[in-house]
Structure 1
Amino acid sequence: MKVIVSGATGRIGGACLARLLSNVQVTEVVVLTRRAVSADSPKLRVVLLTDVEFLSYPAHVLKELEGAVGCIWAMGANSFPTLELARKVTVDYPLAAATAFASLAPSTNGQKFRFLYSSGTFVPEDPNATGLWFLGDHRRMGSETCQKLQNLSLATENLDVIIAKPGGVMGAGMAPPVAEWIMRCIAPSISIQLEPLAAAEVDVILNGSENKVLQNDDLKAWGQKALNKV
């Protein structure tokens, strides 16, 4: 299987990349990135994209992606220098990608292209939600992206959108020690370890999911089951 990953220079995307490269079912991983990726594997193909290409996907880029069964979209950040840039990366990039990937030739078995978007528990259902006392603009943008991706999936024949909504992600370098202690001791139900999250996302992209929105508990259970397969 051939899989696309965005956000591979981040913690979640990087963990998904490592797991994909070690999976015997996966024959090739194409990383879409704006900067170099430090990974060494004969399965890995790195495609450096400009800002324009992240929004347009010209023919030579789509050629690199032919044959892929899906994409794990893990690009994002909690802070950007401007809201304009935040909107471009949070909303415009994934929507442009999903639209472009849906135009790829369907697989020989008729399986739709899977687009797994990494969102979060704290992203509201309503893009116009009020009373968001932390990261309000970013969370509303994330909500808008989820809504538009789901609408695109319904309107597009060759696209299966799955939204992953993990809680606070814990693991090496994910959060300061104090924040990890708070999440582990005070709010364990809204946290998840990086390893089972990556395991869940990789298993979903390879095998699909009937549930199109995976909440934190879903991802925990799915990730543990995937880890137990090994």
Structure 2
Amino acid sequence: MSKTAIRVIITGTTGMVGEGVLHECLQNPLVDEVLIINRKPLGVTHPKLREIIHTDFYNLSAIERELAGFDACFFCLGVSSVGMNEPAYTKVTYTLTMHVAETLSRLNADMIFCYVSGAGTDSTEKGRSMWARVKGKTENDLRRLPFKKAHAFRPGFIKPTEGLTRTHRFYKYINWMYPIGRAIYPNGFCTLRELGLSMIHVVSRGCDKDIITGKDIIQLAKV
């Protein structure tokens, strides 16, 4: 499949991953229109870009009419599990994601849903790691929704895109690891640019894989 002029919804653009994916979409000629949904204004303007400010992601009824007619959703919204118990992490990671996805699948029968998960996610939902179980359940249940396709992207270490403003501060201390890790274990190391491009190409070219690993991300990102 080859598709041009795709229309994309992106969540989580106030975070590092979402900002990077948005950056790639705004630069890429394959993407014709981008809608971002944020709780507070991002402060970015572009001819392709439209922003909706909406504070309650657990109730999208007020903006539903604006969410129809899209080819893809790049779901980059997420939180760290550090310091969170399982019910709280489940509410933000699973419940919120599924509500957004259920709404979009109802409004967009041909949508491709791209979910940023993480390396080490537990598809069995039975492992010892709490975050991995919750992410695994989220991935599994997303694939049961009536999307055209739902993909789970599982990056490990993500090298930030230079010049963007939402990069986590700790990256200045750990970026030295990237070239070494990429050379030794490429499946666990990709760039944020590669992640964004791989998501665009999954929609424009198609992809048979439900779970997209680090190596897949690198391969799919190639022009």
Q: In the alignment, what sits opposite 1:133?
A: none
Read off the aligned partner of 2:11 and give its amino acid letter.
Answer: S
- Aligned amino acid, residue 194 of structure 1: L
Unaligned ranges ≥5, structure 2: 1-5
Q: In 2 relative to 1, CA 219–103 (structure 1 residues): closer, same or farther, beyond 3 Å?
A: same
More helix by share: 1
Residue number in structure 2 paired with 1:207: 205
Residues in 1 aligned to 2:130 and 2:120: alpha-carbon distance in whole angstroms: 12
Gaps of at least 5 residues in structure 1 are 107-111, 131-135
Instruction: Measure the CA separation in 2 of the matches of 1:78 and 1:197.
Output: 19
The residue aligned with 1:24 is 29
Q: Structure 2 vs 1, CA of residues 124 and 181 (structure 1 numbering), >3 Å: closer, same or farther?
A: farther
Instruction: Between the two structures, name the one with larger relative contact order (CA 8 Å, sep ≥ 6).
Output: 2
- Matching of residue 169 in structure 1 with residue 162 in structure 2: no
Instruction: Select 2:139's aligned residue among 143, 146, 152.
Output: 146
Q: Distance in 2 between matches of 1:66 and 1:18?
A: 23
2:130 aligned residue (134, 137, 145): 137
Q: Percent of counterpart pairs with the same letter?
A: 23
CA–CA distance in 2 between the matches of 1:56 and 1:125? Answer: 27
Q: Does 1:74 align with 2:79?
A: no
Post-superposition shift, 1:80? 6.1
From 96, 102, 106, the equivalent of 2:99 is 96
TM-score by length of 2: 0.84
**Deviating 4+ runs (over 6 angstroms):** none
* Rounded Cα–Cα distance in structure 2 between residues aligned with 1:65 and 1:17: 17
The two structures, once aligned, show a CA RMSD in angstroms of: 2.1
Kept in 2: contact 1:4–1:70 (CA 8 A): yes
Q: Pick closer, same or farther for the CA change 1:14–1:206 going to 2, 3 Å.
A: farther
Matches within 5 A, 1:112-123: 112-123=110-121
Equivalent residue, structure 1, for 2:89: 86
Query: For residue 66 of structure 2, what is the aligned residue in structure 1?
Result: 64
1:3–1:168: structure 2 CA closer, same or farther, 3 Å change rule?
Answer: same
